[in-house]
Structure 1
Amino acid sequence: MLKSKLKNHLLLHLVVFIWGFTAILGALITLESVALVWFRMGLAVLFIALYFVWNHKSFKVDTKGLIKFFLTGILIALHWIFFFKAIKISNVSVALVTMGTGAFFTALIEPLFFKRKIRPLEIVLGLIVVFGLYIIFDNFEVARYQTGIFYASIASFLGALFAVLNGLYVKEYEADVISFYQLTSGVLFVTVYLFFLGSFTIEFFQIPKLDWMYLFVLSSVCTAYAFIVSVKVMRFISPYSVMLAINLEPIYAIILALLIFGDQEKMNSEFYYGAFIVFFVVLLNGILKNSASFKKKFSRKTVSKN
């Protein structure tokens, strides 16, 4: 039992580390952001389809579900396009820290869809994150990254909206089915966009060998594999542990970026002060939410025993 739990914890951190490596691959691949997302999603769909066939899983889903997945597939495609665009015109560290605004956006969006009141604590934590970002970006050195910050903020909002909607869908459908159809619809959306731009030329598919290697890793390991493993791991590990581990993703990515890109990723001291505030709040949010859930669960058990 103990060995099994340890194995799943190690797998979870492996997945989080892999997700952190996604931003690094985005910076290394020479393709522009839209083409990068098209290849990433297309190859990931292929890998997940092979996974379905290998495990004899059904592709069947109702029409209502298909409509939902089509719309959210467009959201995730746009999210990745803006995210990779932000990385390419700024750097990995700036893009990832700006993505920290997702907590604030989620605090505002989630109550609308889950039909609950806005929680003041979530707004306060979200505003503290914004304050941390203000410290980061209120200096001359980072002023040149303003466009990247803007694109990363859009990516953050779209990512928050996508996560909230998936929080509803996962109650009705299996996670891997949701992912397959969202990625498929995302590919179709980007395909139509590129088709009308006349982008599908011979040159479009003439990709450097190194880019093909990075794309293979990005789509298979960082997208298809990481998703499937994360779903399996969540059957054995508590949501508290999963949330704390996932919040380490930006830290892993920034450390990797510093090791791989060196001086290109080095920022001034204000950047790291602000980044610490962002990461601390994200972790604190996870701790507070899960401690509240634990107290509710414990009180229910106590009442039922009495």
Structure 2
Amino acid sequence: MVRPEDSAPVAAPRHYLMCRPTYFAVEYAINPWMDPTLIVDRDRAVRQWEGLRDLHRSLGHRVSEIAPIEGLPDMVFAANGALVVDGRVYGARFASAERTPEGPAYLDWFRKAGYVETKEPKHVNEGEGDFITLDDVILAATGFRTEAAAHQEAERLLDRPVVTLQLVDPRFYHLDTALFVLSGHQIAYYPGAFSEGSRRVLRALYPDALLATEEDAAALGLNAVADGRNVVIAAEATALSDRLRALGYTVHPIELDELRKAGGGAKCCTLELRDSPT
């Protein structure tokens, strides 16, 4: 694994889009984490979300907010709402009927915010949930939500090479539950979430990647947000956090267990806006 000081990464200011969980609930089950019989403490979810938002800001990042819409309890998971690269917005087309209205809602926000190049997708995709952007490539997943055809659609719009990966474990239904970017050229991931062919691809592209254990992955420890130096990560992912610290990263554990009842963590709540309008 490449240590931060070896590649000299620095924490760069980012611009994030988030959505307050005003209407958060678990009213249906569209992934293995969701159980509608569980009691959700919405006030606690809001407090945890505010802690994440405030942490992002304390690390020097800008946070914009999209207004939540009643009846869309998963809208808090802003990362699923779009993919933004070089100021171009590839909108989301959700796999489940319950979340379908979120796609137009997020695209409308971008257009009103001044984004000129926006695309309403033809193919099912769930934004940064299944697209992860590095300096020279976009990693994209299929298997549970996003269609492989969406990878080609995104590649044409964003003019970036897209590498397709296959997810095989339903617990890790989105790519951002199984892999996150540490810096522009480095990743951490859980091998068991991927097909053997995809593991070979990842080993070839990132031979020095940090490999997470199943225990840390199952705590959504890979649903993390990093800026090259700081890593915002699930508090329960203790072994992964220790390894990151040993490599020189500054780790910021955060409690998001209320939102995890719907299968989301720090990254699910955080959509990065790359080269966005000022």
TM-score with structure 1 setting the length: 0.28
Structure having the higher strand fraction is: 2
Q: Which has the larger radius of gyration?
A: 1
TM-score where L is the length of structure 2: 0.30
